[in-house]
Amino acid sequence: MQFNVINVFGLTYVVGALVEDDFPGGMYINAEKPTRSIRYTPYQNEKLIIISGDHHKTGQGESTDKHYQNLQTYAENTFKVKEFVYRWSAQDYSTLDKVPFIGYLTDSNRNILVATGFRKWGMTHSHVAALLFRDLILDKENPYETLYVPSRFVTDPSVKRVIQTNVDVAKHLVKGKLKKPTKKVDDLKNEEGAIVQVDGKRCGAYKDKNGKLFLVDSTCTHMGCEVKWNSGEKTWDCPCHGSRFAINGDVVEGPAERPLKQVQKGDL
């Protein structure tokens, strides 16, 4: 019985910095909140320090650009930063019991193997998945097969979390429909996006650096929730199931498969 479903864990943020300090190597993660992890990668004969943290559910929380600022502040308080070279975010997935799915997709279909729900521990669980896949393919016994099996039935805490997840989805679905936009298209500055009202209809509006206007239908094409503007990545993000869309409506990340409809003022 497939009960323990995948739940979108959300966005995690990363900055890459060149520093004056002599980084000793290794990978580090703190035990406190907020979580911060540090590692490095070679970059143009230097060590690029990679700092990650500040996660939240996709389409929810404060201004997304604020999370990059938090990581940059942490970096500057920890190292002598010369330059921030990169920044990006990644969307991670988690199962409701927080244990990855690794194994046969279903009990009845033993031709498809799946490995997902790593919850930001991909470098560890990818090795676990490789070893488990090897044993499954070779029909060898593996003590961890039942722990990671995707078709496992976990009554507690999964039942409670399924209810909580569905309540959260319903809340954002209703909230998005009822909340009235406070901005108009003319209020937007260049490189700014927001939900606006045009001729009585909700739209997602964005002006690029040259002032070109992009208007999209703000209703997610997956299950009808209202998307929110992600200022850090300049995307439209769905707070219900984590779909993400570009400024022109194209799908950046699923589960949505269809783009947001582009809107012209004359269409309204």
CA distances 153 to 14, 100, 149, 150, 207, Å, are 35, 13, 9, 9, 48
Backbone angles phi and psi of 102, in degrees to 5: -140, 115
Mean pLDDT, the chain, rounded, equals 82
Confidence of residue 170 (pLDDT cuts 50, 70, 90): very low
pTM of the model: 0.65
CB atoms within 10 A of CB 230: 21
Is residue 166 predicted with pLDDT exceeding 50? Answer: no
In the chain the beta strands, taken as DSSP E runs, fall at 6-19, 28-29, 36-43, 46-56, 81-95, 101-104, 113-116, 192-198, 201-207, 213-217, 228-230, 235-237, 244-245, 251-253
Eight-class DSSP state of 117: -
Confidence of residue 179 (pLDDT cuts 50, 70, 90): low
Give the residue among 248, 227, 246, 247 at the shortest CA–CA distance from 238: 227
Is residue 76 predicted with pLDDT exceeding 90? Answer: yes
For residue 94, what pLDDT is reported? Answer: 78
